[in-house]
Structure 1
Amino acid sequence: MTQMTLCHKKNSRKELKSMKKKTILGLLAVLVVAVVIFLFVRGNSEKSDAVIVRTGVVKKDTIIENLSTTGTLIPNQTQSLMGTGNVLEVTVKVGDKVAKDNVLATYDNGLQLIAGIDGTITQVNIKAKQADTNAQQGKPSIQLDDLSTLKVKLELSNSEASAVTINQKAKITSGNQTFSGKVAEKDPVAQSTQSATGTTASLGAIVTFDQAPENLFAGFDADVDITTNTVENVLALPIEALTYNDKNEAIVYVVKDGKAKETKIDIGIQSDKLIEVKKGVTNGETVILSPNSDIKDNMNVTKE
C-alpha cells in the first residue's frame, strides 16, 4: 500500500468522526430546543387553564356585630284621657300645646279632663253638647302626647330578642338623619298577634335617643342598628370569601402556589363586611372572594 493511500484513509476516518460528532451535537441541540418549547407550551397551557379570581387577605381587625331592624317613632310620654256623659265644653283642638294641670274638657256631671303632663294634643274625639261614647269604642276622648322628644318602639322576633340587651348602643336613622341612642327597655314576655296569615309572637323593646331629635314625627318608621357584640384585634377575612361545602361546613379557598386550596374554618361573629375566623387560616393568607360553583380544590387560579 502506498504512502498516499494510507494518508487518504486516515483523513477519511477523521472526517467520519467529525461528522458523527456534529450529528450528535445537532441532535442534542434539537432535543434541548424541543424541551424548551414543550415547557413553554405547557406553562402557557396551564396559565390559559387558570381561572381568574378576585382575592382578599386574612388580617387582624375589629369586628362590630349589628342587629338591623325597623321600629316606630312614638312619644316619650303619652296620656289617654277618657270621659263619660254629656260634654259641656272642649277647650283644646289637635295641635295645641298644653301644660300639666290644664283643663281640657268639662262634662255636665262635673267631670273634667285635666292634662297630666306637658304635651301636644294629638286626638280630640269629643264635641261640646254631645254625649261621649268613646269608651264603648275603645278610643280616648282626648289624647295628649309629649312630642318634645321621641323614642322608638321595636317588635323583636325570637332570634332578635335573644341578641338584644338593655344599654346596648344603637344608631337610629329616619329619612336622611341619623342619631345615636341605646336600648332602654325590653319586655319580659312576648305578645302574640293574630293576622290573616296566622299567629305571630314578638317581644317589645324601646330605644331612646341620646339627645332629643328635631324634625321627627311620631308614627313614622325608623331604621335601628343595635350593636350586639364587638371583638378587637381578631383574625378576620372578608365575608365575601365565606362559603359552605356539601356538608354545610364553613370553608374558604386559600390561594397557594397558583392553586385554590379548599380550607375548612371555624367562624365567630360578623359585621356587614368582615367575619371572625377562630381556626383554619393564618394572618396574611390570600383567599378567593365570591367563589362560585366552578371553583374546585387544587384548581389553577390567577388573580385579577
Structure 2
Amino acid sequence: MKKKTIFGILAVLVIAIVIFLFVRGNSRTSEAVTVRTGEVKKETIVEKLSTTGTLIPNQTQSLMGTGNVVDVSVKIGDKVTKDKVLATYDNGLQLVAGFDATVTQVNIKAKQADTNAQQGKPSIQLDDLSTLKVQLELSNSEASAVKVDQQAEITSGNQTFLGKVAEKDPVAQSTQSTTGTTASLAAIVTFDHAPENLFAGFDVDVEIKTNTVENVLALPIEALTYNDKNEPIVYVVNKGIAKETKIAIGIQSDKLIEVKSGLSENATVILSPSSDIKNNVAVTKE
C-alpha cells in the first residue's frame, strides 16, 4: 500500500509539473512580440543620388547689336544654318548664326534702335535644340558624391533616358536670396541619345549612380536602427529571442545597405523594430 501511495503521489507531481511547464510556455508565447523579419544575403548594391535638373540647349548663342536696325530676317521658332545673316544695322553690323540652331528670342525690330545691351538682353538668341542636356545645381554633400562619367537616368513624366555626368564645375557659386546666401556647384548631365518630346526650360528628375559594390553582405534597410550612442544596430532573432547587434555599414540603395562587419550570411533580422523590441525580448515571426 505504501509503495502504491508513493507512486500515486509521484504521478500527481509529474502531471502537475507538466501542466505547469505547458502553461508557462504558453504564457511566454503569448507575451512574445510579433515581428516581421528579413535575411542577410550576398547582393549587389547600387548607390544613387536623386536630384532635379533643368533641361537646357546643347549650345546657346546670344547675339548683341548696337545702332539702328535696318532689317531682321528671322522670327522666333525659325531654324537657321551656320553663317546665316539674321539682322543688319545701319552701321554695317550684321548678326550671324554661329551654328545650326533655332531662333528662341528676337528682341529687335526693323527701323528701330537696338537698346537691348543696356537692358542686359540679347538682340537675338539662338539655341541648338537638336539635343538637350541637363543643368544641375549640386549641394555640398551632393557635389562630393558626383563625378564626371558616372551613369545617370533622366526621367520626365513616363519617359526615362540614359545619360552620364559630362561636366562638373571646380568651384561653387553663391547666390543671394531673401532667406540668405546659398552656394551650389554646377554640373551637366548629357543624354546618350538625343531625346524626343522634351523641351528646354522644364525640370526633370535625375538619378546618378554614385557607387556600386558587388557580392557583399546586404541588409534590408528596414532593419537598420541606432542605439542611444547613435551607433548602427540591428536585432537578430536567435531561438525566438531578439539580440541587439552592433554593426558597421557601407553604401546603401533605396532597399539595401552594405554590412561590413557584425553579421553573418543568412542571419535573421527584425524589420522596422518597434519600441517594444529590446535586447533579449521574446519574439515570434508573423
Does TM-score exceed 0.5, indicating one fold? yes
Instruction: Tell me how far apart the structure 2 counterparts of residues 195 and 205 of structure 1 sit (CA, whole Å).
Output: 21
Deviations 1:251-297 (A, max 9, x none): 00000010100000000111111000011000000000011222100
Instruction: Tell me how far apart the structure 1 counterparts of residues 99 and 178 of structure 2 sit (CA, whole Å).
Output: 38
Is residue 231 of structure 2 the alignment partner of residue 237 of structure 1? no
Which of 88, 92, 105 aligns to 1:110? It is 92
SS at match of 2:3: helix
Q: Could you say which residue in structure 2 is the equivalent of 1:10?
A: none
SS at match of 1:148: coil
TM-score calculated relative to the size of structure 1: 0.93
Is residue 190 of structure 2 the alignment partner of residue 208 of structure 1? yes
SS at match of 2:228: coil
Q: Could you say which residue in structure 1 is the equivalent of 2:238?
A: 256
Name structure 1 gaps, 5 residues minimum.
1-17
Percent identity of equivalent pairs = 82
SS at match of 2:129: strand
Alignment of 1:71-86 (within 5 A): 71-86=53-68
Is residue 64 of structure 2 the alignment partner of residue 64 of structure 1? no
**What is the CA distance between 1:36 and its match in structure 2?**
1.0
Deviations 1:120-172 (A, max 9, x none): 11111111111111111111111100000000000011111111111111111
Which of 249, 253, 257 aligns to 1:267? It is 249
Which of 184, 195, 213 aligns to 2:166? It is 184
Instruction: Tell me how far apart the structure 2 counterparts of residues 84 and 260 of structure 1 sit (CA, whole Å).
Output: 79
Q: Could you say which residue in structure 2 is the equivalent of 1:50?
A: 32
**What is the CA distance between 1:107 and its match in structure 2?**
1.1
**What is the CA distance between 1:106 and its match in structure 2?**
1.1
Instruction: Tell me how far apart the structure 2 counterparts of residues 192 and 120 of structure 1 sit (CA, whole Å).
Output: 31
Instruction: Tell me how far apart the structure 2 counterparts of residues 160 and 181 of structure 1 sit (CA, whole Å).
Output: 18
Instruction: Tell me how far apart the structure 1 counterparts of residues 90 and 42 of structure 2 sit (CA, whole Å).
Output: 74
Q: Could you say which residue in structure 2 is the equivalent of 1:89?
A: 71
Instruction: Tell me how far apart the structure 2 counterparts of residues 165 and 215 of structure 1 sit (CA, whole Å).
Output: 28
Q: Could you say which residue in structure 2 is the equivalent of 1:122?
A: 104
SS at match of 2:152: strand
For 1:106, the aligned partner's letter is: T
Which of 203, 227, 230 aligns to 2:209? It is 227
Q: Could you say which residue in structure 1 is the equivalent of 2:13?
A: 31
**What is the CA distance between 1:43 and its match in structure 2?**
0.5
Q: Could you say which residue in structure 2 is the equivalent of 1:166?
A: 148
Instruction: Tell me how far apart the structure 2 counterparts of residues 124 and 290 of structure 1 sit (CA, whole Å).
Output: 59
Q: Could you say which residue in structure 2 is the equivalent of 1:199?
A: 181
Structure that is richer in helix per residue: 1
Instruction: Tell me how far apart the structure 2 counterparts of residues 226 and 26 of structure 1 sit (CA, whole Å).
Output: 78
SS at match of 1:54: strand
Q: Could you say which residue in structure 2 is the equivalent of 1:8?
A: none
How many correspondences in the alignment?
286
Q: Alignment RMSD, CA only?
A: 0.8
SS at match of 1:228: strand
**What is the CA distance between 1:26 and its match in structure 2?**
2.0
Name structure 2 gaps, 5 residues minimum.
none
**What is the CA distance between 1:116 and its match in structure 2?**
0.5
For 1:112, the aligned partner's letter is: Q
